[in-house]
A and B are shown apart, each in its own frame.
Chain A
Amino acid sequence: MMSPAALIRRAAPVLACIGLLALWQVASLALKNDSFPTAIEAIRAIPDILGDKESLINILASLRRMAIGFGLAVLASIPLGLLMGRSRGVAAFFNPLLMVIYPVPKAALMPIIMLWLGVGDITKTLVIFLGVSLPVIYHSFEGAKAVEEKMLWSGAAMGLSPAQRLVRIVLPAALPEILTGCRTGLVLALITMITSEMIARQSGAGNILFNALDMGQYDTVFAMIIIVGAMGICLDAIFERVRARLVRWSEPQFDIPLSFS
């Protein structure tokens, strides 16, 4: 038998969502604005989108680009971040470059990248890659930098080469921080996935969202926002479960998870 406090704790995320939707409903009814439909109108439009084969193909096309962009970014950024964290030379070389790119909105790069790489999938995947790679590099860098020197000395004393120390000592020790970066990157991948489809697109969730915006179909616009938000929550919850399993050893005993998982 669950206690009332535990029940409330368990239901808290759902209650928060219901509260948000209720607030939205009241605000929309009060404002009486055509471009701000009620929560109920937006929710009613969701089955139409998810029941349409073409819309599903579009959403899957976006998710495919997002998965490729995210995967490539993680593969490239973790080694770079670890190297930067352990080598002053590498850090000195890449830091200024990253500091210049970091604050630039990645969607703003779209028109320029489009001129170089065309209007196809590569451009959009590159924008996602850029959006994801910076937080992953930064967190990998911080994680690698924080590794205790004593552990590395011990590894060296046991005959581990610098590369072996990076893989067998630095990588596991920095893993909690790296995965925090990956989690931020995952959310940014979702955001850049949509913004990369704002200017030019052949397929994608942006097709549904921006066409509806152009045509003034605001129930569809808000329904897509809910769908993208739900996708973010699901992806984050899955990732958080994986992360918790991988780095259980580093978690504090009493933790308040910032997740739906």
Chain B
Amino acid sequence: MRTVSKWILALGAAAAVSAGATSSWAQQTIRVGWTIPAEESKYWMMRRPAEFPSIGKTYNIEWTQFQGTAPMTQALAAGALDCATQAPLSLANGVVGGNLKAYIVAQHVFEKPGGFSVYWAVMDDSPIKTIADLKGKTVGISVIGGGTQGPFNLLLKQNGVDPARDIKLVEVGFAVSEDALRQGRVDAVNMNQPFAARAEAKGGTRKLFSLSQAMPNIVHILEACRADFVDKNPELVKTYVRDITSGMKKALANREETLKVVNEVLKAPIPVLETYLLKDNDFGRDPGAAPNFPAIQKMLDIYAETGMLPKLDVAQFKHPAIVAPLQ
């Protein structure tokens, strides 16, 4: 009987030790949301973990892929994710509608001057020559109420077009934009890479206006982490941000390998990626993955001006120490 009790005690102790170990290991795991495309630093971390000495040693990353940034905002607000890719609008919506408190710790892509800017295209022979000509037309946008709609609405208003009354706005995903335009289902539609490069190569379409006309340096996607998670695990998040910084450097320094990494993640053929990825006709990437807070503030102001959001201060997203670039 005594022997049985000893065994039970020993098993209990072992269970307690292993539970402790599990919980300490669990603290060293970050649950990260990601999406496609344009997160090259994270793709490097996913596909070339050996290049990052901390991954798998001092901490682990549990990657979950999402369809767009909005569901990631919900997952962050619910505590199902610790860090995730966000668009400024989805993050702000999480703050306004979901009581999300988060820090912007890094930036993935933005619209660099002279680089690619999301644009609205029309057919070459279209009578639409200016933004004002869009009155009464059917216009495609990738996501109604999405991040591009703020600057889009602003440009329309500046040109005397009421986005709510003067046009018929329809949702057309980037992947099918070109088809919708060529088949006449829309009169104008927004284009993004790599689909823009493909459409341009085929010819027959022309650029009507681009978002950079509303403001330069538009931030498309950034990395945000839940504030409570950052406050509880500052060293862990620092290591993660350090790796994002390093991933961005690797992505920019070795384009050939980046093409392979992106090909593995997106399954897009390298010849397609070759046409735009990390070239002049691509989005901009800050070499240190540093968030452009003034540009994000400008975007929040545009969203407020166009009635998509109440006025928000970007300072609430800024952590005093944990922000890329971290060496």
Q: Check B9 for interface membership: any CB of A closer than 8 A.
A: no
Residues of B146-184 whose CB lies within 8 A of A: 174-176, 178-179, 183
Minimum distance in angstroms from B74 CB to a CB of chain A: 6
Residues of A176-223 whose CB lies within 8 A of B: 198-202, 207-208, 210-217, 220
Choose one: B33, B65, B81, B268; the contact of A217 (CB below 8 Å).
B268
Q: Check A235 for interface membership: any CB of B closer than 8 A.
A: no
Minimal Cβ-Cβ distance residue in B for A208: B267
A115-145: CB near B (< 8 Å → 1, else 0) gives 1001110000000000000000000000000
Known contacts A201-B65, A207-B65: A215-B75 contact under CB 8 Å: no
Known contacts A34-B179, A200-B33: A111-B268 contact under CB 8 Å: no
B35-64: CB near A (< 8 Å → 1, else 0) gives 011000000000000000000000000111
Task: For A207, list chain B residues within 8 Å (CB).
Answer: 65
A118–B36 touching, CB < 8 Å = no
- Give complex CA distance A203, B249 in Å: 28
Residues of A16-49 whose CB lies within 8 A of B: 33-35
Choose one: B37, B71, B176, B194; the contact of A200 (CB below 8 Å).
B71
Minimum distance in angstroms from B323 CB to a CB of chain A: 25
A211–B36 touching, CB < 8 Å = yes
Give the B interface residue count (CB, 8 A): 28
Task: For B71, list chain A residues within 8 Å (CB).
Answer: 111, 114, 199-200
Known contacts A200-B64, A200-B66, A215-B266: A119-B81 contact under CB 8 Å: yes
B64–A111 touching, CB < 8 Å = no
B268–A215 touching, CB < 8 Å = yes
Minimal Cβ-Cβ distance residue in A for B78: A115
A211–B33 touching, CB < 8 Å = no
Q: Check B67 for interface membership: any CB of A closer than 8 A.
A: yes
Q: Check B15 for interface membership: any CB of A closer than 8 A.
A: no
A202–B267 touching, CB < 8 Å = no
Minimal Cβ-Cβ distance residue in B for A118: B80
- Give complex CA distance A198, B75 in Å: 14
- Give complex CA distance A217, B183 in Å: 19
B65–A200 touching, CB < 8 Å = yes
Minimum distance in angstroms from B38 CB to a CB of chain A: 11
B176–A115 touching, CB < 8 Å = no
- Give complex CA distance A217, B218 in Å: 28
Minimum distance in angstroms from B216 CB to a CB of chain A: 27
Task: For B81, list chain A residues within 8 Å (CB).
Answer: 119
Known contacts A34-B178, A211-B36, A212-B267: A119-B74 contact under CB 8 Å: no
B63–A202 touching, CB < 8 Å = yes
Q: Check B195 for interface membership: any CB of A closer than 8 A.
A: yes
Minimal Cβ-Cβ distance residue in A for B180: A35
Interface centre among B31, B63, B176, B267 (most CB of A within 10 A): B267
B179–A198 touching, CB < 8 Å = no
Task: For B63, list chain A residues within 8 Å (CB).
Answer: 202
A220–B175 touching, CB < 8 Å = no
A226-241: CB near B (< 8 Å → 1, else 0) gives 0000000000000000
Known contacts A118-B80, A199-B66: A211-B266 contact under CB 8 Å: yes
Residues of B61-108 whose CB lies within 8 A of A: 62-67, 71, 74-75, 78, 80-81
A214–B175 touching, CB < 8 Å = yes
B198-229: CB near A (< 8 Å → 1, else 0) gives 10000000000000000000000000000000
Task: For A118, list chain B residues within 8 Å (CB).
Answer: 80
Task: For B36, list chain A residues within 8 Å (CB).
Answer: 211, 214-215
Choose one: B64, B266, B267; the contact of A119 (CB below 8 Å).
B64
Known contacts A214-B36, A215-B266, A220-B267: A114-B80 contact under CB 8 Å: yes
Minimum distance in angstroms from A125 CB to a CB of chain B: 15
Task: For B195, list chain A residues within 8 Å (CB).
Answer: 216
- Give complex CA distance A214, B143 in Å: 13
22 A-B pairs (CB sep. < 8 Å): A111-B71, A114-B75, A114-B78, A115-B75, A118-B80, A119-B75, A198-B67, A200-B65, A200-B66, A200-B71, A201-B65, A202-B63, A202-B65, A207-B65, A208-B267, A210-B67, A211-B65, A214-B67, A215-B37, A215-B175, A215-B194, A217-B267
Interface residues of A, Cβ cutoff 8 Å to B: 33-35, 111, 114-115, 118-120, 198-202, 207-208, 210-217, 220
Interface residues of B, Cβ cutoff 8 Å to A: 31, 33, 36-37, 62-67, 71, 74-75, 78, 80-81, 174-176, 178-179, 183, 194-195, 198, 266-268
Q: Which 4 A-B pairs have the closest CB atoms?
A: A216-B175, A115-B78, A119-B64, A118-B80
